[in-house]
Structure 1
Amino acid sequence: MRSSKAISFLFLCLICFSSFILAVIVPPLESPDEIDHIKRAYLLSQGKIMLSSPPGMLSGGMIDSGLEQYLEFSNKYIRNIDVKITQEDIKSLNNMKWSGEKVFSPAPGTGYYFPAIYAPHAMALSFSKFLGLKINKSYYVTRFFVLSTIFIILAYSFYIYEPSVFMVAVLALPMNIFQESAASIDGISLAITVLAISIFMAAQKNRMDLNASSLFVFSFSVLAVVTCRTHMLPLLCMFFIMYYYNRKRPVLISGVAVSIFSVAWTLIAMKTTVQYNHTLHALSPAQRLVYYSTHPTSFFMMFYRTLTNTDILSGYQWEFIGSLGWLTMNFDWKVYLIISLSLVATFALCLNIKKNAGFERVSMISMALGAVFIVFLSLLLTCTDDGSKEILGVQGRYFTLPVIILSYATLGIERENKIRYVASISLLSFILIFSVSNTVRTIVRTCYTIN
């Protein structure tokens, strides 16, 4: 391994070790929507691919009543920073067992996701039950197994194609370290995205054909990401960019097959998933799409009002860097300022401004912008209240994957200049240390009673 690749791998180990520390100290289910993710993983472990939608109820499935009790118990402190977890709470969680009885529980927010992304979670839960572990231990086994899977995928990705220092700095942000430590799908979807782009970039850089195994891994990675992160649908373009250069029929066939399946799954999931009380939303997502298609002025005005609202933009910045828990654990404004400036400086050091960028760079930038556009469009159609003047429901962490794409499109020049490289590595070290120290301090202060 070249020295720069070894350094990238070293920082990956440090980032994952930091997430391991958080996985130990963060109370259960503190990641946004983690409760529903655990439900969906359990349903997959029981062989359930699609959610059920009983009449008059939100989509969900039959889960163990002991697991339902465990999830409901945690509700009392995950959304309320004034409620601290106590020793009595920990004892209660540790004593909860699998009951063997099933109850229906809604998990509508996960109905749009193809369940392949939950395979590590489902395997960990099944193995834990097989060993006779109680629910809380099963939950922590799931956390550590998912984190280990993330590390393996990222390590393999770094081996295939060396990332820019800026991309590693994005991984070191408090939000991403925190999400990788949780039993949700943010960390695993990020890792699989990096894997897919690494295979694509390696193939394009060397103008090489993908062998059967590499093409399978690439295809599965893209499929897993775009079916759980709808805004990443532009990644499907990578198949056709590769085909443009190598003219290999298996690449084209794979691209068409993955594209058809991904779009079909998204449409079926939208049709069958009941996520909202329709008494609160007069128009369904499909009806809203038709409306904005026929009223483009209203469509663009929603975007304009959203992107010119300074309070909303500040919220995106904070959430991208790290608004932890259920958006309840925030840092002092100075922390956000320092990390923002450090990240911008790292970006500047890694930025490649050569004009002969090539078609790949333009394509990657276009995919990143397309992903951002889909973020706003999807939240406009599904989460924005009737009569709202701005697009609601967008969180800053939704822009992490588009930024990852952008980092591969425009960055990587720092390794060609020793001064730039040393400066960028120094900034990366500072971002990681500063992020971890502030994250641990904030979690302990917010979640626990300190005598």
Structure 2
Amino acid sequence: MDVLLRTGSAFQRVSEASVAILARLERGLPLLFLAYALPMVIFLSITMPAYLNPDETNHAMRAEQVSHGAPLNWRTGPFDAGGTIDTGLLSLLEVYWPILAEADKRVTRSMQDRSHAVTWSGNRMFANTPNTAVYPPTLYLPVTVAIWIGKAAKLPVETTLILGRLINGAVAASLTALAIALAARGRFVIFATMLLPMSLAQFASCSQDALLLSGGALLAALLSRPMCGRRPATGAEYLGAAVLVALLSMSRPTNLVFILPLLLPSVAPRLTGRFSALTVVGGAVAATLAWIVWVAIYVQVPQPHSGIVPMMGDQLRHLIADPLSLFTVLWNTALMYTHGYYVMMIAFLGWGQAAFTAPSWFYILAGVVLLLACATEVLGPPGLTRRQLAVAWLSVGASFLGILVIQYLSFSRVGGTFVEGVQGRYFLPLAATAGLLMPAIAAPAALRLATAVPVLVFPIATLLTVPTMVIGRFYLQAG
């Protein structure tokens, strides 16, 4: 009997200690995130050669257009859309183009000397940037501010873009830390997802994707508070979530489905200030649809690539004539690209011929850690109601399918048998919402602590691996 009592007492002490440790870890999670993220943002901002993040060339050009007082782009021909840019951006691109075009090229002293000499010219010319012309100016604000500062201080173009990366990364990391602090559920998933190499690389770029990722994490956090608290949202939570849905959806229309949780009676407050909840939601939807219509009428053009001329109208007519073919397309795409999507979501850094990947073990370990992050949420505080869980799954699933369908309509061969052009990083904001999709299971605190610790430690592997990858790809000369 004494043995049983002592054993029970020991288990009680372990449980109490685990609860206390978990509470301290969760309180410190935002600061731990920043401690991991900011050094990597600084390293990647400085060491990644200009334009060598995914699509960073056109994103930098879009931000420069906004900084020059041109928030809107226009269609100028059957396959041309964009605006004018300072020719200094093109002069810098010319320096690093050999690395983008040839897989064996490295950064040389000559390249560095030439890049440091490129300044803002004050001369402007049209740049055809159809992939970024469709984006609103809002998510380019951090990079736009950096360009204003760079031009005012007469900094070289490359230094200005590095400043843009640093400011963009600092804002994205801060928003993510705020999301982790606010989340009632899902903070470990957000922590793990946003510290993946691909997320950090997007933070440390001149791309709007930095704010798409961090904004998506913040949206998930705001939704979690009323849904997990089994209460209506406060006015600030509701308005904040609606504004985020609008901002994210104007750049990625598939995010509009995340308006659905705001329509739940258990989430929607009766009033938000002087406006009804329906007015807030309607405003977010109207703003998004207005931008989509504007882009469709005045901006969007087909983007020929690899001998393919995607035509959205023809593709839509094909699907109307044979709607069941879409299931075949999605199945073929899953068979062909699932592994590639995973690799690109975890760590597929660089762009063009400058793209590079992590060691194979890293992807296995990252997958295990992401599963452990989900397990930590399952073993955590109470989750969503069944109705809320169904709406959350519907929102994430519809957004996921929407990404594939839009890419099939706008970027794939007419009548093609698979979807082209989807990048694994497109799914990172959805991955950050996974904490909302998990059921809750009562379990000992010690078990939850055991699943949480590897999640908190894994970013050390990223901090050790990514610098080796970058230096080896760009700065160590072959042979």
Per the normalisation by structure 1, the TM-score is 0.91
**Does the 8 A contact of 1:319 with 1:397 survive in 2?**
yes
Counterpart of 1:369, as a letter, is G
The residue number in structure 2 matching 1:22 is 44
The residue number in structure 2 matching 1:293 is 320
The residue number in structure 2 matching 1:136 is 158
Equivalent of 1:314, from 319, 333, 339?
Answer: 339
The residue number in structure 2 matching 1:62 is 84
The residue number in structure 1 matching 2:350 is 325
Other structure's SS at 1:97 match: coil
The residue number in structure 2 matching 1:84 is 106
Per the normalisation by structure 2, the TM-score is 0.86
The residue number in structure 1 matching 2:391 is 363
Other structure's SS at 2:251 match: coil
Other structure's SS at 2:404 match: helix
CA distance in 2 between counterparts of 1:243 and 1:294 reads 41
Q: What displacement does 1:92 show?
A: 0.9
CA distance in 2 between counterparts of 1:53 and 1:222 reads 26
Larger radius of gyration: 2
Q: What displacement does 1:16 show?
A: 2.8
Runs of at least 5 residues in structure 2 that lack an aligned partner in the other structure: 1-21
**Does the 8 A contact of 2:179 with 2:187 survive in 1?**
no
Counterpart of 1:170, as a letter, is T
- 2:425 is the counterpart of 1:402: no
CA distance in 2 between counterparts of 1:37 and 1:56 reads 21
- 2:51 is the counterpart of 1:12: no
- 2:397 is the counterpart of 1:376: no
- 2:207 is the counterpart of 1:184: yes
CA distance in 2 between counterparts of 1:169 and 1:356 reads 21
**Does the 8 A contact of 2:179 with 2:221 survive in 1?**
yes
1:359-418 per-position Cα deviation (integer Å, ceiling 9, x unaligned):
22221121111111011101101111235321111121111111112223317769x743
1:169-209 per-position Cα deviation (integer Å, ceiling 9, x unaligned):
11121111222111212221111112222222223344244
CA distance in 2 between counterparts of 1:171 and 1:329 reads 19
Counterpart of 2:348, as a letter, is S
In the alignment of these two chains, the number of paired residues is 447
**Does the 8 A contact of 1:226 with 1:235 survive in 2?**
no
The residue number in structure 1 matching 2:295 is 269
**Does the 8 A contact of 2:198 with 2:346 survive in 1?**
yes
Other structure's SS at 2:102 match: coil
Q: Does 215-224 or 84-93 show the bigger shift?
A: 215-224
**Does the 8 A contact of 1:109 with 1:275 survive in 2?**
no
CA distance in 2 between counterparts of 1:99 and 1:52 reads 23
CA distance in 2 between counterparts of 1:168 and 1:48 reads 36
CA distance in 1 between counterparts of 2:250 and 2:117 reads 36
CA distance in 2 between counterparts of 1:126 and 1:166 reads 36
1:116-163 per-position Cα deviation (integer Å, ceiling 9, x unaligned):
111111111112211221211111111111111112222322332254
CA distance in 2 between counterparts of 1:233 and 1:408 reads 17
The residue number in structure 1 matching 2:245 is 222
CA distance in 2 between counterparts of 1:73 and 1:270 reads 35
Q: What displacement does 1:283 show?
A: 6.0
1:14-33 per-position Cα deviation (integer Å, ceiling 9, x unaligned):
22332222222222222111
Runs of at least 5 residues in structure 1 that lack an aligned partner in the other structure: none
The residue number in structure 2 matching 1:426 is 453
**Does the 8 A contact of 1:204 with 1:242 survive in 2?**
no
Which aligned pairs between 1:101-116 and structure 2 lie closer than 5 A?
101-116=123-138
% of aligned pairs identical? Answer: 18
CA distance in 2 between counterparts of 1:371 and 1:106 reads 29
Give the direction of change, closer, same or farther, for the CA distance of 1:275–1:32 in structure 2 (3 Å limit): farther
Counterpart of 1:237, as a letter, is L
Which aligned pairs between 1:91-106 and structure 2 lie closer than 5 A?
91-106=113-128
